[in-house]
Amino acid sequence: MDAIIIEGLKVETVVGCFDWERQIIQPLMLDLMINTDLEQASNSDVLADTLNYAEICEVSAKVIQDAQPELIEHAAKLVLNTLFTTFDAIESIMITIRKPAIIAQANSVGIRLERHRKDFRPRTGE
């Protein structure tokens, strides 16, 4: 399967469980591996035949910034749901979200989720 890879997408947002975290803006770093068929785009050299990377980044950042989640696990789920809903050509997504410099002894802490379209069930009534 072909993949679009976005590494180190920086999203500035309110994120965290503690009161002090809800008062500041912190960076999150996102890595996305989006599996999709790139055959047509590789032949045509036309943007309309692929997923727009800039739009993927914009949509991913906006959903996190709007939600201001407590957990990065929830932030990842929001991004997954939004990308599957917005882009029909996505077959699967692996997302890694890191929260840098939140623990003094570590460069970052983070999570990784992987989901496939066949398992995606959009919520109705939203």
| CB-side neighbour CA atoms (13 Å) of 95 | 27
What is the per-residue pLDDT for 122? Answer: 67
pLDDT in tens, 82-92: 999 999 999 99
- 37 part of a folded domain: yes
In a domain, 45, yes or no: yes
Strands 26-35 and 92-100, how do they pair? antiparallel
d(CA 38, CA 42): 6
Residue 118 in any domain: the answer is no
- Residue 107 belongs to some domain of the structure: no
Is residue 60 a contact partner of residue 38, using CB atoms and an 8 Å limit? no
Q: What is the mean pLDDT of the chain?
A: 95
53 part of a folded domain: yes
Cα gap 9→97, rounded to integer Å: 9
Which CATH number is 9's domain given?
3.30.1130.10
Domain that holds residue 32: 3-102
- Give the chain's domain count: 1
pLDDT of residue 76 exceeding 70: yes
Query: Tens of pLDDT along 95-119?
Result: 999 999 799 999 999 999 999 999 8
pLDDT at 101 (0 to 100): 79
Contact 12, 26 (CB under 8 A): yes
- Confidence category of residue 126, pLDDT binned at 50, 70, 90: very low
Instruction: Please indicate, yes or no, if residue 48 is contained in any of the structural domains.
Output: yes
Q: Is residue 34 one of the residues assigned to a domain?
A: yes
SS3 25: coil
